[in-house]
Structure 1
Amino acid sequence: MKRIDVVYDGHTYSVGGVELEDLQQEIAEGVAGGPHWLKVNEGEGDRRDALLLITPATSISLIPIPEGVSAPEKEMGSWEVQTQITP
Structure 2
Amino acid sequence: MATLSFDTPKTATLQEYVLSGTAPANATLDLGVQIVVTRADSSTEGYYLARQYNYTVDTAVTDTVYMPIIPQLSGTEAVTATIVGTDVEGWSIKE
Q: Do these two structures clear the TM 0.5 threshold for a shared fold by scoring above it?
A: no
Max Rg structure: 2
User: Scaled by the length of structure 1, what TM-score is found?
Assistant: 0.34
Q: Which structure is richer in relative contact order (CA contacts within 8 A, separation 6 or more)?
A: 2
Please identify which structure carries the higher helix content: 1
Please identify which structure carries the higher strand content: 2
